[in-house]
Chains A and B, each alone.
Chain A
Amino acid sequence: DAKTTQPPSMDCAEGRAANLPCNHSTISGNEYVYWYRQIHSQGPQYIIHGLKNNETNEMASLIITEDRKSSTMILPHATLRDTAVYYCTVANAGGTSYGKLTFGQGTILTVHP
């Protein structure tokens, strides 16, 4: 039973913002939203995470709705190298349990020239 749902694929033009949605309607109060991506034949790469406030780092921004049932991860200026599978997941942060991640099928983002 998937805890998150994402669209299977999305396209984005190079240089434009890529907005990737994720639904996590059963998220519990102590669970964070995490985003990772996986470029072909490589290991997953951490992008960003958040609890309830919007977050921004050097790679992306994360917008979480007030009810925390959905979020959007934004790559502000997509490049061809951002073509990858993007995974949204929820998990507890910190302590001994963090790291027990489950990835579903994710969203295949294709950035085109």
Chain B
Amino acid sequence: DAGVIQSPRHEVTEMGQEVTLRCKPISGHDYLFWYRQTMMRGLELLIYFNNNVPIDDSGMPEDRFSAKMPNASFSTLKIQPSEPRDSAVYFCASRPGTENTGELFFGEGSRLTVL
């Protein structure tokens, strides 16, 4: 299996622009998570889905952030408009639903820089 795949790996944009991050979870995994990591705040959960349905979005910072999962193999995290404080590494992770090995499988992350 190729693992969790994220794109783009790096994104540099200007304040006010729309940013879309993409994630392909491991096939067969029922849960998908979006995390954000910064030096100041560490790793924070933004939102997670179960069977394509958002379960908990309490970590989404504000209305500028939105996430969708139109099918089991694809999810997007959108920031519109972007701000410099959104600069961070965004990770997507997935796990199976039927067995609990305790393991979350993370992607390599998307490093976002907003100028």
Contacts and interface: CB of A to CB of B under 8 A. Distances in A.
Interface string B83-115: 000000001010100001011111111000000
A39 B50 CA distance: 28
A102 interface: yes
B53 to A, nearest CB: 10
Contacts, number: 59
Interface residues of B, number: 25
Interface residues of A, number: 24
A42 B102 contact: no
A6 B56 CA distance: 28
Contacts of A36: 104
B108 A42 contact: yes
A87 B37 CA distance: 13
B102 A99 contact: no
A60 B100 CA distance: 19
Contacts of B91: 43-44
B100 A94 contact: yes
Given A94-B100, A99-B33, 10 more contacts: A43-B4, A46-B102, A46-B103, A87-B43, A99-B45, A99-B48, A99-B104, A102-B43, A102-B44, A103-B42
Interface of A: 32, 34, 36, 41-46, 48-49, 87, 93-94, 96, 98-106
